[in-house]
Structure 1
Amino acid sequence: MKKRIIAIGGGENGRQGYPYETAEIDQEIVRLCEKENPKLLFIGTASNDDSNYFHSMSKVFKKLGCIVNNLSLTINNYTEDDIYKIITQSDIVYVGGGNPKRLLELWNEKKIVKILDDASENGLILSGLSAGSLCWFSYCNSDSLKFNNENIESIKQDGLGFIDAVNCPHYDNKDNRKNELKAMMKHLPDKVAIALDNCSAIEIIGDKYRIITSKTTANAYRTYWLNNVYYEEIIPKTLEYSNLTDLIVHPKNRK
């Protein structure tokens, strides 16, 4: 079965006291499943399994008809068999935001990457926001170090490689993210980055993709270096799907 991934750049997604900004994207995640009451598994590793985060997301997706479960890797001492059963009995995985370094280290330690990979080939939908968006790509523009020192720049971090490109969330945030991505991509001359504003997402089904948003001003961008020139191109928002290869293959590597 074709891999289905929805990677969200950011946005408020149900926290008490904040506007709910990602409704249309969340609705698309559920619609993509094509089940009346899909089983959604929230994974909050990047936020240290913050209980308030889970409760907020649980409310959001229960309203969309989902049966919501929680995989609390930093709290519960699951066996590999436990993790396998919990993941493979789900229809959708939604990975929350937070510290992507913590997320990827613990996922590798708990050996859940192959489980997610195999399960997604059998129909499991992979989705997530911020750190939960970064993880699916080969590389990411990560703010992991800023959790200890906000003055430290974002770093290049290896992801899972399910999508062979770089990912940068929160691209419209005023925290120097654009300049940091530009500098990082200088060291990845053969790669393309998918930069996502808050309230924008890339939806991937097999070898096809489209950009979806929950705010009209939100955009997604394709960025790369070519002949010492840095390109930043808005990716069109259309209802139709386009070829993923055309998006993520660097221009100089095209045949």
Structure 2
Amino acid sequence: MAVVPVRRLALLGGGFSTDDDGLLDDWVLGQARTSRPKVCFVPTASGDAPAYIEQFLTAFQPRHCEPSVLPLFRRELDDDTLRTFLLSQDVVYVGGGNTANLLAVWRTHGVDQLLREAYGLGTLLCGISAGANCWAEGSHTDSFGPLTSLPDGLALLPGSVCPHYDSEPGRRPSYQAAVATGVLPAGWALEDGVGALFTDGVLTETVTRTPRAHLYRVEPDGASRAKERALPGRLLTEAQ
């Protein structure tokens, strides 16, 4: 009987681009299906910013993994090679930036469908900020300047996502208002420092690199109000 791959994705409230301790990145690598995973960084949301790519390589080349980068603004791979490349990855790590632009570029190049295929085959999908937003049905974003709701995404994760819940002014009330009024479905709000792992769309682990940071479940509560519920998370330490 064939073994059905486990479908998993992780939302990150930090990582190599924001933290010096590397705890969330080490946690991500620990979720991979192999001991020396192939990790592909997808910097589309930043316009393939060279400094961002360099940050990733500096952080991951010393780790026990095989890092690579998928640029799309100066694409080098034909369709068949691109598919083979992405489906060979154990982890796809999507960087932050503009969520709306990321989705548009992915669709232009067919990357959205390739990521769906990779997800179904057991590749761990993860990312920070826009790289967390993209997996859900909708998200809270500054893609258009002011904070707003984007009812768009790959919908691999049911509901919506809001990153930077505690660190950017206006995030908390604006996201709650969107959920309360039904502009966005109920979803997950990440404070900086949190990691959340979902298996087949169900939350299976929450971790944090700092005791103060939490993952929240945000749901409508009637009369155009929303309620948030902080979820417990395992504290990551450098000894783990």
Q: How does 1:85-234 map to 2 (within 5 A)?
A: 85-146=84-145, 152-188=146-182, 191-206=185-200, 207-228=202-223, 229-234=225-230
Indicate the SS of the match to 2:196. Answer: strand
Q: CA deviation at 1:35?
A: 2.3
CA RMSD of aligned residues (A): 1.9
Q: 1:86, CA displacement in angstroms? A: 1.4
Corresponding letter in the other structure for 2:84: K
Unaligned residue ranges in structure 2 (runs of 5+): 236-240
Q: 1:36 to 1:209 in 2, by over 3 A?
A: closer
- Cα distance, 1:157 vs structure 2: 3.4
User: Is residue 7–residue 201 contact of structure 1 (8 Å, CA) maintained in 2?
Assistant: yes
Contact map agreement 1:202 1:212 (CA 8 A) in 2: yes
C-alpha deviation, 1:223, in angstroms: 0.9
Counterpart code for 1:220: L
Match of 2:61, SS state, is helix
Letter matched to residue 131 of structure 1: A
What residue is the counterpart of 1:5 in the other structure?
9
Amino acid at match of 1:5: L
Which sits farther off after the overlay, 87-96 or 221-230?
221-230
Instruction: Say whether the 8 Å CA contact 2:33–2:90 is kept in structure 1.
Output: no
**Amino acid paired to 2:8:** R
Distance in structure 2 (CA, Å) of the matches to 1:39 and 1:12: 17
Q: 2:238 is matched with which residue?
A: none
How much has 1:220 moved relative to structure 2? 0.8
Distance 1:89 1:174 in 2: 36
Distance 1:189 1:49 in 2: 30
Deviation of the 1:78 alpha carbon: 3.4
Q: Are the aligned partners of 1:140 and 1:167 in contact in 2 as well (CA < 8 Å)?
A: yes
**Contact kept in structure 1, 2:48 and 2:73, CA below 8 Å:** yes
Distance 1:111 1:187, change over 3 A: farther
| Equivalent position SS for 2:72 | coil
SS in 2 for 1:63: coil
Say if 1:91 and 1:38 are closer, same or farther in 2 by CA, change over 3 A.
same
Length-normalised TM-score, structure 2: 0.88
Structure with bigger helix share is: 1
Contact 1:8 1:200 in 2 (8 A): yes
- Kindly provide the CA deviation profile for residues 198-241 of structure 1, in whole angstroms up to 9, marking residues without a partner as x: 111211123452211112211111112122232011012259xx
1:36 deviates by 2.9
Aligned length in residues? 229
Equivalent-residue separation in structure 2 for 1:29 and 1:109 (angstroms)? 28
Contact 1:156 1:184 in 2 (8 A): no
TM-score (ref. length: structure 1): 0.83
* Shift of residue 80, structure 1, vs aligned partner: 1.8
Query: 1:76 aligned to 2:71?
Result: no
Could you tell me how far 1:191 is from its partner in structure 2? 2.7
Query: What is the CA distance between 1:62 and its match in structure 2?
Result: 2.1
Distance 1:236 1:189, change over 3 A: farther
> What are structure 1's unaligned runs of at least 5 residues?
147-151, 240-255
**Contact 1:4–1:124 (CA under 8 A) maintained in structure 2:** yes
Structure 1 residues 13-72: Cα deviation after superposition (integer angstroms, max 9, x where no partner) = 247xxx515x22211111111423211100000000011111111121222211111100
